Amino acid sequence: MQAEIVTADMSTVSIAGVTLAADLSGALYWEEQKLLVVSDLHLEKGSSYANRGVLLPPYDTIATLGRLGAVIARHDPRTVIALGDSFHDRDAHERLSPANRDLLAALQMRRDWIWISGNHDPALPPELGGTVAEEVAIGPITFRHEPTGAAGEIAGHLHPKARVSTRGRAVERRCFASDGTRAVMPAFGAYTGGLNIRDAAFARIFQTLGFVAHVLGDRRMHAIAASRCC
Amino acid sequence: MPPRKPVAKPDLLPDHFLRWFAMRGWSPREHQLALLQKARDDRSALLIAPTGAGKTLAGFLPTLAELSGAQGEQSGSKVISTGRSVQRGQGLHTLYISPLKALAVDIARNLETPIADMLLPIKIETRTGDTPVSRRARQRRYPPDILLTTPEQLALLLSSDDAPYLFSSLKRVVLDELHALVTSKRGDLLSLGLARLWKLAPDMRVIGLSATVAEPESLARFLVPQPVGESVSADIVVAGGAAEPVVEMLDTKERLPWAGHSARHALGEIYDLIKANKTTLVFVNTRSQAEMLFQDLWRMNDDGLAIALHHGSLDVAQRRKVEDAMSAGKLRGVVCTSSLDLGVDWGDVDLVVNVGAPKGASRLMQRIGRANHRIDEASRAVLVPANRFEVLECRVAIDAVAENAQDTPPLRTGSLDVLAQHVLGCACGAPFRADDLYDEVRSAAPYAELSRVDFDDTVEFVASGGYALKIYERFARIKQDASGKWRVTNPKVRQMYRMNVGTIVEDTMLKVRLLRGGSGKSKKGVTGALARGGRMLGQIEEYFIEGLVVGDTFVFGGEVVCYESLVEDQVYVSRAHDKDAKVPSYMGGKFPLSTYLAERVRKLLDDERAWKGLPDQVREWLSLQAHVSHVPGTRELMVETFPRADKHYLVCYPFEGRLAHQTLGMLLTRRLERARARPLGFVANEYALAIWGLGDMSHMIRQGRLDLAALFDPDMLGDDLEAWLAESALMKRTFRTCAVISGLIHTRFTGEEKSRRQVLFSTDLIYDVLRKHQPDHVLLRAARADAATGLLDIRRLSDMLTRIQGRIIHRELDRVSPLAVPVMLEIGREAVYGEASDELLAEAAEELVKEAAGFEETES
């Protein structure tokens, strides 16, 4: 028997009574609100490293914006929320190439765009377009960058990833972490690593291991109990 | 000059040397004199000699003679200079480079004997990663006459600005175990270092010491600068007179296993061999095999024989202890891996036992050579095949040894990631002009064919990443000055280079510590705090630990241990009381079956008369195969299809080694998927590949819906390969190695940086992005070149696919054939290779559904 119920293009995540779709790309889509949420883009992380002598390929921003463009094209949302750490450092937006700046502007056209501030990008300038906010509340849901564990909260910051191992083989992937009351989103950026959901940081948010990892597979989403991960 | 008495070989050796030889009851060997003659003629030379032939002394005699003679000629005071341009009378005379730092230390000890006996005024020092900073600084200012070191230390010395001062006096370089050095990227690094030395000390001559190789002429190119467009070799001296080794296959009384690598069936017989000999080296192919065998031997060790364990993951102190006990003749047996392939001679080893497949003829001969305590006595070796296919491999390997047929790989083409490291090292030493460096680099044999495009791209990469998008100019590590010379932009670049020099990129290793107080039940959570400390057992690959869950047991350091927790880079384990470990850790040998032995195995199979030399059990097995199916001919590829349980199988026998078979398996499953054969998985061993699926492949072939010629067409190395490489974990590992060696990312940091785990950057992410946006980047080119021969063995696969075109023999069977049994038995025992992460995740997800629905796990 194949477990089609839990492995699909999208996983359904219920938070505080609201049903959202966890997309294979790592974005979250709220159909009724036509709202798309992405977290931790970390744009210009490559050039940030280059500045310190590690000359990573300078294609992370274009790669991230390209994937973001694809998921926006798929859902055509009315509103996009970037859930903080959209830029890797305070000066990162200044290093955007003209082409990437245009690309970003094109994505923002005809829709509301909300930048939630994160610890990497606490002060974003107005010329980036969109609105800057510390947090946003829509219905029972609050969007903020750093998770506090509050009910109805959707946050990012921790870059959750889950590791599953069977018979000596392990697979590790980014994931959404959610217990039905709150959720932590995966990082969307091309160069963003992850923190294992078994780390103590997640225990502080969820208290128990009674949460589910919605794991981004290669072609499908997989809902796996946190206690099954290692 | 002191007067000399005429001797048989006049004046090659000074009198006091001859007296020293006589005092020890020796006379100079022919090859030792030959090397002295080469030195006299001012020629570089390659000495090919078996272990125990006095190879190292031969390599040093010219140096010792020259240095002892030099004393008479220059009775004046030594000129010690700290200025760079002042020529000194003396200074560093000879540089000795070996692949192992332990070897450098041992050689220093061995050379002390003649130097002390003859009162030679020669100063010898070693320089390795362990040498204290103060002594390293002193060595650069007041160099010894002879410096013993490693390729990495040479690179470091060359990157300092006083390298011209240090090396201008150099007369001689001695390269030990050259056959081993040249097969890896360390050889590339060494070759570039030599190219530099030829520039700094044009009179320098090189002596290479090597075991027997397949192409000595080609190896000898390594020792002399290659002129543009020409190929020149150093002179070759071959030491003769080694007694023929006596090699046998264990004539087991037990039933020969169909599959597996543990040779457990022959344990008692191996034990008896150890018991019957003074000192036995028992070689196995992997660390985990060594662990298992060692444990099994101790379990039956009623006589309390001193049997020890030696492999590369054990703690250095532990290994040293075993080596010392060995030298002191205190051990009856040592179970070891290739960690003892090289190194000092072990005196009294009288038997080598090789458990499992020999993999290559030359490799086997070098191992057998370890039992050679006197060159004129025959080495003795016993091969213990662990399964029936290995019997064939052992048989042909014994024949190859008898014919002295060598199968060492050809000289490498220098890789671009190592070149990048070298280019940065050169800039750290002194500013360089690209044209000059390009010429210099091509004097190194592995880089003789280097194209200007590759060179320029590498320099660009070192400078600012070599990206098509030119936005990193302001972050450049090296820049061209007004005169066109490339120079380092800031001192931090030098520091990072020095910390990260070298080409040995190991899988991230974790320290394994044994918790005190037996098997304490693990605390909740993987990263929970645990009492620190505990005895260090050794190191283990991170990827192995990642596959474990808390409570899993595995064999390490000679005992079964239980995985308790991972805290930063420390793995905590407790002593488990289980007899068998739950998680087998056989990862396959590092070295695939050599093409040469594979060819001989195919020939042996093809020649029914030659089966006479095989054990009865194996002969019967092959006869049965001939009866029910077909025994593959030398040039054929045999493919069998058959049903079993509710699945359908396709088994083929390319005999190209597991790495090439794994790649083939990946590519064939893609094609079978497109052909709607619904493949589910595959497993590969050294000889065969088995693929299974839901589609009836026999039926499909019969109906013409599956064309075997098309399935095995070499065009799979085009788009299919490209598509697979995009997501291949092995390719990503290959890329990571290149990224680290080339200096794109660093694995070692200065103290001010954050802890290693925080800074370590996932190269998989870089690979994905780079591959998509600049597929022809120089690092991806380097990784592809590695993939051809490394973990993916694509070149060999390509040769095979070309060879078997039009020669595919298909047998449709109603059940598994005798020849297919070994590979079929690997199913479930070996990790089923595949990149099917979704399947694994889905399996875990399914458990959640079952749990939710209140199901019980019914299977196993």
Averaged over successive runs of 10 residues, the pLDDT of chain A (230 residues) comes to 46 93 96 97 95 93 97 96 96 94 96 96 89 96 97 96 75 92 97 90 93 90 89
Is any Cβ of chain B less than 8 angstroms from the Cβ of A204? no
CA B571 to chain centroid, in Å, comes to: 26
| Band of pLDDT at residue B684, cut at 50, 70 and 90 | confident
Is any Cβ of chain B less than 8 angstroms from the Cβ of A215? yes
Within 10 A of B78 (CB to CB), how many other CB atoms are there? 11
Is the pLDDT higher at B547 or at A145?
Answer: A145
The answer to whether position A206 is within a domain reads yes
Distances in whole angstroms, Cα of residue B593 to Cα of each of B313, B382, B655, B730, B792: 23, 19, 8, 19, 14
| Band of pLDDT at residue B344, cut at 50, 70 and 90 | low
| Preferred mutation among A12, A54, A64, A206 to probe B, highest tally of B CBs within 10 A | A54
Cβ–Cβ under 8 Å, residues B661 and B800: no
| Residue B715, C-beta contacts closer than 8 angstroms, at least 6 positions apart | none
CA angle B731, B496, B169 (to 5 degrees): 105
A-chain CB neighbours of B465 within 8 Å are: 50, 55-58
* Tokens 């001989």 -> residue: B600
pLDDT, tens only, B185-199: 999 999 999 999 999
d(CA B732, CA B725): 8
A residues 53-92 near B, CB within 8 Å?
Answer: 53-60, 62-63
Do the Cβ atoms of B842 and A171 come within 8 Å?
A: no
Report the length, in residues, of chain B: 860
**Cβ neighbourhood burial of B129 (10 Å; 0-12, 13-18, 19+):** exposed
The four Cα atoms B120, B126, B127, B128 give a dihedral, to 10 degrees, of 170
From A94's Cα to the closest Cα of chain B, the distance in A is 13
Helix or strand holding residue B736 (H, E): helix B729-741
Amino acid at A101: R
Question: What was the ipTM of the complex prediction?
Answer: 0.90
Cβ–Cβ under 8 Å, residues B350 and B379: no
Please tell me the total count of domains within chain A: 1
State both tokens at B371. 């039992």
State both tokens at B751. 């103290």
pLDDT, tens only, B722-750: 888 877 777 888 898 899 999 998 877 65
From B851's Cα to the closest Cα of chain A, the distance in A is 10
Amino acid at B502: G
From A143's Cα to the closest Cα of chain B, the distance in A is 27
Do the Cβ atoms of B845 and A170 come within 8 Å?
A: no
A residues 118-157 near B, CB within 8 Å?
Answer: none
CA A61 to chain centroid, in Å, comes to: 15
From A215's Cα to the closest Cα of chain B, the distance in A is 8
From B466's Cα to the closest Cα of chain A, the distance in A is 9
pLDDT, tens only, B820-829: 998 888 775 5
B-chain CB neighbours of A163 within 8 Å are: 546
Distances in whole angstroms, Cα of residue B567 to Cα of each of A204, B359, B749: 19, 38, 20
Cβ–Cβ under 8 Å, residues B465 and B703: no
- Is the dihedral angle over the CA atoms B567, B571, B572, B576 positive or is it negative? positive
Amino acid at B108: A
Is the pLDDT higher at B854 or at B203?
Answer: B203
In the sheet that holds B509-514, the strands lie side by side as B535-541, B509-514, B570-575, B559-567, B553-556
DSSP code for B339: G
Cα end-to-end span (Å), chain B:
85
In the sheet that holds B380-384, the strands lie side by side as B246-249, B380-384, B351-355, B280-283, B333-336, B307-310
| Preferred mutation among B848, B851, B857 to probe A, highest tally of A CBs within 10 A | B848
| Preferred mutation among B727, B827, B841 to probe A, highest tally of A CBs within 10 A | B841
| SS3 of residue A70 by DSSP | helix
Helices B778-789 & B416-429, crossing angle to 10 degrees?
A: 130
d(CA B632, CA B605): 7
pLDDT, tens only, B814-848: 999 999 998 888 775 544 444 456 666 777 777 66
The answer to whether position A150 is within a domain reads yes
DSSP code for B591: S
The answer to whether position A1 is within a domain reads no
Between B547, B761, B849, which is nearest A165 by CB? Answer: B547
* Tokens 């006479």 -> residue: B612
Do the Cβ atoms of B849 and A6 come within 8 Å?
A: yes
- Is the dihedral angle over the CA atoms A106, A107, A112, A117 positive or is it negative? negative
Q: Which domains does chain B have, with CATH numbers?
A: 15-73+84-238 (3.40.50.300), 246-403 (3.40.50.300), 509-575 (no CATH), 595-728+792-840 (no CATH)
Is the pLDDT higher at B72 or at B652?
Answer: B652
* Tokens 């120089």 -> residue: B778
Beta-strand pair A135-138/A141-144: antiparallel
A-chain CB neighbours of B493 within 8 Å are: 53
Q: Of the given ranges (B134-138, B211-215, B411-415, B570-574), which has the lowest mean pLDDT?
A: B570-574
Report whether pLDDT(B589) > 80: no
Do the Cβ atoms of A62 and B583 come within 8 Å?
A: no
The answer to whether position A2 is within a domain reads no
What mean pLDDT, rounded, does chain B reach?
85
pLDDT at B379: 84
| Residue B528, C-beta contacts closer than 8 angstroms, at least 6 positions apart | A200, B565
Cβ–Cβ under 8 Å, residues B770 and B777: yes
Do the Cβ atoms of B777 and A165 come within 8 Å?
A: no
d(CA B121, CA B801): 61
Report whether pLDDT(B697) > 90: yes
| Preferred mutation among A52, A55, A178 to probe B, highest tally of B CBs within 10 A | A55
pLDDT > 70: percent of chain B: 85
* Tokens 């398996």 -> residue: B665
d(CA B809, CA B709): 10
Amino acid at B290: A
d(CA B346, CA B200): 37
Between B471, B493, B840, which is nearest A53 by CB? Answer: B493
What is the 3-class SS of chain A, one letter each residue?
CCCCCCEECEEEEEECCEEEEEECCCCEEECCCCEEEECCCCECHHHHHHCCCCCCCCCHHHHHHHHHHHHHHHHCCCEEEECCCCECCCCHHHHCCHHHHHHHHHHHCCCEEEEECCCCCCCCCHHHCCEEECEEEECCEEEECCCCCCCCEEECCCCEEEEEEECCEEEEEEEEEECCCCEECCCCCCCCCCEECCCHHHHHHHCCCCCEEEEECCCCEEEEEHHHCC
Highest mean pLDDT among A161-170, B348-357, B506-515, B617-626: B617-626
CATH number at residue A98: 3.60.21
Do the Cβ atoms of B465 and A62 come within 8 Å?
A: no
pLDDT at B551: 77
| Domain limits for position A144 | 7-228
Q: Of the given ranges (A69-78, B131-140, B366-375, B792-801), which has the lowest mean pLDDT?
A: B366-375
Is any Cβ of chain B less than 8 angstroms from the Cβ of A172? yes
DSSP code for A153: E
pLDDT, tens only, B771-787: 999 999 999 999 999 98
Cβ–Cβ under 8 Å, residues A212 and A9: no
pLDDT at B849: 60
Between A55, A192, A222, which is nearest B841 by CB? Answer: A222
Q: How many beta-carbon contacts under 8 Å exist across A and B? A: 156
What is the 3-class SS of B123-160, one letter each residue?
CEEEECCCCCHHHHHHHHHCCCCEEEECHHHHHHHHCC
Between B549, B769, B843, which is nearest A59 by CB? Answer: B769
| SS3 of residue B511 by DSSP | strand
B-chain CB neighbours of A168 within 8 Å are: 547-548, 583-585, 831
The answer to whether position A198 is within a domain reads yes
Is any Cβ of chain B less than 8 angstroms from the Cβ of A98? no
- H-type alpha helices, B443-594: 452-464, 491-500, 542-546
- H-type alpha helices, B404-451: 416-429, 434-442
Q: B760: closest CA among B771, B749, B770, B775?
A: B749
| Band of pLDDT at residue B532, cut at 50, 70 and 90 | low
Q: Of the given ranges (B418-432, B574-588, B614-628), which has the lowest mean pLDDT?
A: B574-588
Do the Cβ atoms of B848 and A218 come within 8 Å?
A: no
pLDDT at B764: 87
d(CA B647, CA B711): 20
* Tokens 């080119």 -> residue: B781
| Band of pLDDT at residue B759, cut at 50, 70 and 90 | very low
